[in-house]
């Protein structure tokens, strides 16, 4: 059945225009003023509303086994929560414990219940010939063009510089994007031991073992390694000004480096870790951690300047009871917080309503830029003819107060608790399916589809680093 979204303002990353949107099947087939309504079509009235590309959250962890427990949101509850907030695609992290190919199969099984579309990044947690060979299969046969390297979580999934360098080179050969969790894991580990020795066992030990320089050092190191090897680099979950500045400096040198921050990092500061309520403080434990005042403001400026391009969530939900695994030792508190449901409204409230970013920049940071970087644009990230009909109707005047009591996420805590947001998604369409209508969830388990992503995308345009390095060496001589 056709759907017409009528009378709204269509907001893309590059322009805003009053137009109707006609959807047939999974695709957008017309965008323009006063479109004819085909017989039998469903009409969604969007007067006074914005019609925008569905959000893409490029950083989620659904159903992840992590730190001795498991994330509570599965691919269904997590994507439904996202859909109620206006997110229509996630890119989740496959974290292998052995074969990459087996791990991708496991994630495909888990994700088969998704309500909206999904893709995967794969984490590289060690290095050998098999990993190298499997990366080629994963990239060329499984449609995954991005790999995450953890520079933190020592004694678990952290990689050494040797492994990082081998993995980055392989990404370059395959046309994949290297992504890093930028924290100096060795330094974090040493600081954790010192704090525990001093008897600091509570959640305040978490930020104390992760000063912002930890992010800055790792970001600088990863950027320089990527520069020499000529691989595009994506730094996930940037919370510290130092890491953001490192991205800015690299981009000014002409390097292909992209920065992702999180809705949470733009909103919350580290004072939460010093709250007297242990459960409250521990429920904010994630890595990187929330940073002191001044950092969120710096991240907003970097977004305004275009130096950071993407806002994700790192949606990784645990219940308070799970956080209590670290009652005696903050290093054992499962790391992760949620955010997929509220990302769009929080960013609209703090970014657009305050005048820091424009509605077009909002679309770029919550959807289009991720689509471009991960090579699925314009299938995703745009309201245009031929694109997937992942569309939201967003009422900029409608408001609510965020609360774990009313959210759809499965966890019992919300880092945005009590925040008033003006600007809510009222309709969500996923590949032409009207899965959310003003409070009414019509999503179906398993309707979401896997979105394969080809290598050598836009991020590789102009990447002639090998030549550049060779030339630079000639000049040096």
Of 314, 341, 361, 388, the one binding Zn ion (CB under 5 A) is: 314
DSSP letter for 97, please.
S
Of 20, 270, 314, 341, the one binding ligand URP (CB under 6 A) is: 314
Q: Rule CB under 5 A: which of 343-382 touch Zn ion?
A: none
Q: Which residues lie closer than 8 Å to 354 by C-beta, 6 or more apart?
A: none
Axis crossing angle, helix 129-142 with helix 100-111, rounded to the nearest 10: 40
What would the x/- binding string for ligand URP be over residues 59 to 98, using CB under 6 A?
--x-------------------------------------
How far CA 13 is from CA of 4, 27, 128, 309, in Å, comes to: 21, 19, 41, 12
With CB under 5 to 8 Å by kind, the binding choice for 375 among ligand URP, Zn ion, none is: none
Residue whose Cβ sits closest to ligand URP: 335
Q: Minimal distance in Å, beta carbon 358 to ligand URP? A: 29
Query: What whole-number distance in Å separates Cα of residue 156 and Cα of residue 431?
Result: 38
Q: Which is nearer to Zn ion, 135 or 236 (CB)?
A: 236
Query: What whole-number distance in Å separates Cα of residue 77 and Cα of residue 194?
Result: 39
Residue 181 found at the interface with Zn ion (CB under 5 A):
yes
Residue 92 found at the interface with Zn ion (CB under 5 A):
no
Residue 215 found at the interface with ligand URP (CB under 6 A):
no
Q: Minimal distance in Å, beta carbon 125 to ligand URP? A: 12
With CB under 5 to 8 Å by kind, the binding choice for 286 among Zn ion, ligand URP, none is: ligand URP
Residue 373 found at the interface with ligand URP (CB under 6 A):
no
Cis ω on the peptide bond leading into residue 406 (within 30° of 0)? Answer: no
Of 139, 287, 409, 433, the one binding ligand URP (CB under 6 A) is: 287
Residue whose Cβ sits closest to Zn ion: 181
Contact 204, 273 (CB under 8 A): yes
Query: What whole-number distance in Å separates Cα of residue 63 and Cα of residue 72?
Result: 6
**E-strand stretches of 304-415:** 310-312, 391-401
Query: What whole-number distance in Å separates Cα of residue 40 and Cα of residue 62?
Result: 38
Residue 181 found at the interface with ligand URP (CB under 6 A):
yes
Query: What whole-number distance in Å separates Cα of residue 135 and Cα of residue 142?
Result: 10
Number of residues that bind ligand URP (CB under 6 A): 8
The stretches of 147-240 forming alpha helices (DSSP H) are 161-174, 185-197, 205-208, 212-229
Q: Which is nearer to Zn ion, 52 or 257 (CB)?
A: 257
Positions in the binding site for ligand URP (CB under 6 A): 61, 181, 286-287, 314, 316, 335-336
Please report, as ranges, the residues that interact with Zn ion according to CB under 5 A: 181, 314
């Amino acid at each position: 059945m056709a759907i017409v979204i009528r009378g709204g303002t269509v907001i893309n990353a590059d322009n805003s225009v009053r137009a109707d949107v006609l959807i047939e099947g999974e695709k957008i087939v017309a965008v323009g003023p006063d479109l004819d309504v085909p017989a039998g079509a469903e009409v969604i009235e969007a007067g006074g509303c914005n019609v925008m590309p569905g959000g893409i959250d490029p950083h989620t962890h659904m159903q992840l086994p992590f730190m001795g427990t498991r994330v509570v949101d599965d691919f269904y509850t997590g994507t439904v929560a996202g859909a109620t907030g206006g997110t229509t695609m996630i890119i989740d992290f496959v974290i292998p414990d052995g074969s990459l190919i087996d791990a991708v199969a496991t994630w495909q099984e888990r994700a088969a219940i998704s309500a909206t579309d999904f893709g995967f990044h794969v984490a590289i947690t060690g290095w050998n010939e098999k990993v190298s060979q499997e990366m080629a299969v994963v990239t060329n046969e499984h449609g995954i063009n991005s790999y995450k390297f953890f520079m933190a979580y020592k004694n678990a999934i952290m990689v050494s510089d040797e492994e990082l360098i081998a993995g980055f080179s392989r990404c370059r050969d395959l046309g994949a994007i290297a992504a890093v969790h930028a924290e100096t894991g060795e330094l974090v580990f040493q600081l954790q031991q010192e704090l525990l020795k001093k008897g600091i066992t509570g959640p305040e030990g978490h930020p104390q073992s992760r000063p912002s320089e930890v992010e800055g050092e790792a970001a600088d190191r990863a950027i320089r390694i990527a520069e020499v090897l000529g691989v595009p680099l994506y730094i996930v979950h940037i919370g510290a000004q130092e890491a953001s500045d490192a991205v800015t400096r690299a981009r000014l040198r002409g390097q292909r480096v992209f920065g992702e921050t999180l809705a949470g990092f733009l909103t919350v500061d580290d004072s939460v870790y010093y709250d007297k309520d242990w459960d409250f403080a521990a429920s904010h434990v994630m890595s990187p951690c929330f940073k002191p005042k001044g950092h969120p403001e710096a991240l907003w400026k970097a977004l305004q300047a275009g130096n950071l391009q993407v806002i994700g969530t790192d949606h990784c939900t645990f219940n308070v009871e799970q956080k209590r695994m670290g009652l005696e030792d903050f290093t054992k508190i499962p790391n992760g917080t949620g955010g997929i449901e509220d990302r769009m409204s929080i960013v609209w409230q703090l970014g657009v309503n305050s005048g820091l970013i424009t509605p077009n920049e909002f679309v770029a940071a919550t959807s289009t830029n991720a689509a471009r970087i991960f090579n699925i644009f314009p299938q995703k990230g745009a309201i245009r003819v031929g694109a997937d009909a992942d569309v939201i109707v967003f009422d900029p005047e409608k408001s609510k107060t965020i609360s774990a009591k009313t959210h759809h996420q499965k966890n019992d805590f919300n880092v945005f608790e009590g925040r008033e947001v003006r600007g809510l998604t009222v309709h969500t369409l996923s590949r032409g399916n009207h899965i959310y209508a003003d409070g009414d969830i019509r999503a179906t388990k398993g309707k979401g589809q896997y979105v394969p992503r080809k290598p050598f995308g836009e991020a590789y345009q102009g990447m002639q680093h090998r030549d550049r390095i060779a030339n630079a060496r000639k000049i040096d001589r």
